Amino acid sequence: MTTRNICMVIAYDGTEFHGWQRQPGLRTVQGLLEQAIRRVARHQVDLIGSGRTDAGVHAAGQVASFMTGCTIPTTRLRYAIGSRLPKDVSIRALWEVSPDFHATRSATSKMYRYRIHAARNRPVEQHAQPYTYHYWQPLDVDRMRLAARYFIGTMDFSAMATKGSPRESTVRTVLRCDIERYCSEIRIYVVGKGFLYNQVRNMVGTLIHVGRCRWEPAYVQTILDSMDRSQAGETAPARGLSLCWVQYPATLLQAPVQSIYRDLDDLPDVAGS
């Protein structure tokens, strides 16, 4: 029997999930997907995700892969699995990839977006309540942009990492940290080669302090140099965060991924960078 390596791009609303990773007795994205795949493929599967999103975090472009001996053509396989999923999970694409492809280890970069509704009116008026952090006071975006520059580069991000997920190294590389304003909504885009536990949400919490004029933009460098989590801002709530895309070497992933990500027309032009 020939074994195939199947890759999927997945979108989900994280509101009702206890995160990506399967957990006994809890509703998780990985757990539901594996259950749906198992019913179609008729064998146990180990679904490998590009990374773990926490409870309440969303995704527009999560990538996952699994090995299967199932012979159903990929077009039919996508809909067979998708029809067994709840309404808050969707398979955006599914195709066969190289046996060497690994959704976690093969990833070269990924982008997260964080949405802040910075106004006194509630985001429910824009039907955005589950997907934005409502911050009641106005924020100075220009100051936040100046502060965001200090996050760019390869450095020790200990000050931005919440304890709970031990790593051999706390050095990470952030390639971009862009901030845009859309009326009363502020969107923070962070592109990196990999992230520590809660790193992006802690970066956002720190930028909010700068936007409220409590800290000067340059103080972010002092926080990073301290390597002390207690010196940084609070962890921003999960509901504002979404995994937008994951990038892989073209030699391993020949697929229409970029066309899928172009559908996310509110993202800055970094998907091909």
Q: Which residue has the tokens 């070497």?
A: 249
Residue type, 199: Q
d(CA 89, CA 234): 29
Instruction: List residues with catalytic annotation.
Output: 54
Q: Which residue has the tokens 């159903």?
A: 72
Three-state SS at 32: helix
DSSP tag of 116: E
Q: In this structure, what token pair is assigned to residue 141?
A: 């975006």
Residues 6+ apart with CB under 8 A from 19: 28, 29, 52, 53, 54, 55, 57
CA 149 remoteness from chain centre = 20
CA 222 remoteness from chain centre = 27
Largest CA distance in the chain: 63
